[in-house]
Amino acid sequence: MEKVIAGYKVDVTEEGYLTDRKQWNKEIAQALAKELGINELTEGHWQVIEFLQKDFEATEKIPTIRRVNKVGNIPTKDLYALFPDGPLMKATKIAGLSKPVSCV
């Protein structure tokens, strides 16, 4: 289905995850973050988003929280502080990636 986010027409799933990563940009990320209750994306948020995108490009898999911690060197408590109530679901959505399989 199509949705307009930050003035851009994008293809999304019923849950609002982008289906085409090429449609993602930083303005869309900011708008998605606001929808999820994160008013401003800080340097810490961008560190997580960039790791998720680079890791996905390398592995073609959504990284787990454990991988974000071990490979991305981002402490799990920081991940929860940056993206409360479902950090991986929120972070992947903002990063323009699909919903993690590990999340219900």
DSSP string, 13-78: -TTS-BS-GGG--HHHHHHHHHHTT-----HHHHHHHHHHHHHHHHHSSPPPHHHHHHTT---HHH
How confident is the model over 26-48, as pLDDT tens digits? 999 999 999 999 999 999 999 99
> According to the model, what pLDDT value does residue 2 have?
96
> According to the model, what pLDDT value does residue 72 have?
96
**Active-site residue, 103 included:** yes
How confident is the model over 46-104, as pLDDT tens digits? 999 999 999 999 999 999 999 999 999 999 999 999 999 999 999 999 999 999 876 54
Q: Which of 89, 101, 103, 104 is catalytic?
A: 103
> According to the model, what pLDDT value does residue 101 have?
77
When pLDDT is averaged across residues 11-33 and rounded to a whole number, the result is 97
